[in-house]
Structure 1
């Protein structure tokens, strides 16, 4: 397999003709999911080029790892690396049309007058799902969740299951890596230390309490137990978060092959994995603006080969309170959906901030 090169390095290796042929392959795939052949490309190129010359360029693109031939006599499809390169270097982002913008704003504003914030989120996520023809997802903090206890259970020599129980009966599980020489007594000691400080507190309160006592903890606990306490704190990122999924049925539209149906079945299974969906949405919170996750770049989509387009949500103080996005096949209409996700996130941030 061709090693992945930085997008800038790949871009430098492609002349205008190669870029245009690659763009035609990606555009064709995003539109139909079908391989794009040299004869078709030679007809639609803005320059005169024979099918044989197009095939030569296709071969060069294949050697760079940007495209592949699913069958010997077929045209080409973009690889996941090719899609990433396209998104990073060649994608021309559109804008939300005035009619769609007005509709989205009116629907969110109406929902904000009639429902609580969770209801507004559900409404906006369903709307975004319908516009994008994909599944809409959103994860936000459940600020009022109060904790009851945390336990650690060893799964293997180097893995521990952290079980966080809330007073409302909710349970969140996280698998944590630990040193293989961590004694069983450290699990008990770490759980006792945390439980003495988290009971009855919200996640934010508990985190502040324990992080404020970090120096004292390092003096009070041995090094391995202190590391486990820190890992336990870090694992709470998605705990106490509300996950809303809307519009999975849109994923069944426009299927072109049995392989597509199998990928969608796997994606449905992915969407049932609440923890991993929340974890991926949290990665979208790590920077400003929209982030795009493609296929096996993340473990959640390693089997279904799907994509997520997501953006963070903020409150009035610019504090991140969650993330919103859409999930679908890798042939999502990125140019159209990216600005939709961005605009919806800004609308919801305005509601969260009371604006």
Structure 2
């Protein structure tokens, strides 16, 4: 079986196990489940389904003869595929707006963000968290640390000594060596620059490299030594070599071809760097990190729900959210964090 093979009965039983855990924090057994389910199933039938769910890694038994609890993988599957996200009540919206407007009345950003953290803590019964950063922070050091195949932690150290951690998405199939190369290259090039300035500089150099490629290839193609094909925005193109005997005699053409190959490598690397820097600046949307997915709080088995807030130019200048146990009420916390981030963003404008 795989996750996509779960039938309606299996999903209902799994959903009931998770919802029971989120409500009580306790394992639930087959006998209790058979009473809670909307369909008539014997405890024996429920146990058979639970065995399949355990085989898939979605649930586990905390000890022998106990009921079942969701695994971190199970919670992630529930949040991604089965969670019904609710909406805030009008009273909750009014409280968030009133708290934020009162704190923002004195135009103190610190007061506003402190109140946002306290409000989220009070509403969620978890810990409110606010991470801020200066949009014009000048970078002293940057490092990319892969957390999983398509996600990386970006560590930014500012010249003022401040440290920021951001989670970014990676392109599928990006090799581990690309992150190491990006770290080394950027630390040699962007010291004292903002991320926006660094990206502009890299894009400028990429444009210069592309112009050099165009000039070199135009010459050797015009001279009948090679033909050009396959150029596109995402793929710089492919040089099809002709007249190898002529090339062997034309030292300059050989040097041009080698230079073009090196420029192709540089263009590909710069494209990856531009993507990484752009992701580090954006990191958009509500993010949910469950247990060990959350690199900062994994040892405590906590979950983290965060959303970005923006300045007047729609640039992300920080994130806020809630830290709590993995049995957070995700359906309620997600819209709460999202709405608070939007209110804070409006007041900062």
| TM-score scaled by length of structure 1 | 0.63
Task: Assess if the C-alpha contact under 8 Å between 1:21 and 1:54 holds in 2.
Answer: yes
Q: Distance in 1 between matches of 2:274 and 2:141?
A: 10
Q: Distance in 2 between matches of 1:230 and 1:213?
A: 11
Task: Assess if the C-alpha contact under 8 Å between 1:190 and 1:228 holds in 2.
Answer: no
Residue ranges of structure 2 left out of the alignment (5+ in a row): 144-154, 167-175, 213-261
Equivalent residue number for residue 313 of structure 1? 309
- Alignment partner of 1:342 out of 334, 338, 341: 338
The question of 1:323 aligning with 2:311 is answered no
Alpha-carbon offset, residue 347 of structure 1: 0.7
- Alignment partner of 1:91 out of 83, 88, 92: 83
Per-residue CA distance 1:304-351 (angstroms, 9 max, x = gap): 332221222233443333322212221111111111011111111212
The question of 1:39 aligning with 2:31 is answered yes
Equivalent residue number for residue 250 of structure 2? none
Task: Assess if the C-alpha contact under 8 Å between 1:178 and 1:228 holds in 2.
Answer: no
Task: Assess if the C-alpha contact under 8 Å between 1:70 and 1:76 holds in 2.
Answer: yes
Say which is worse superposed, 87-96 or 134-143, in terms of deviation: 134-143
CA gap of 1:48–1:334, structure 2 versus 1, over 3 A, is same
CA gap of 1:119–1:227, structure 2 versus 1, over 3 A, is farther
Equivalent residue number for residue 54 of structure 1? 46
Alpha-carbon offset, residue 39 of structure 1: 1.9
Equivalent residue number for residue 63 of structure 1? 55
CA gap of 1:144–1:334, structure 2 versus 1, over 3 A, is same
CA gap of 1:140–1:191, structure 2 versus 1, over 3 A, is closer
- Partner of 1:327, secondary structure, is strand
Q: Distance in 2 between matches of 1:90 and 1:151?
A: 37
Equivalent residue number for residue 110 of structure 2? 118
For the aligned residue pairs, the C-alpha RMSD in angstroms reads 4.1
Alpha-carbon offset, residue 30 of structure 1: 0.9
Residue ranges of structure 1 left out of the alignment (5+ in a row): 153-161, 239-278
For the pair shown, which has the larger CA radius of gyration, 1 or 2? 2
- Partner of 2:129, secondary structure, is strand
Equivalent residue number for residue 14 of structure 1? 7
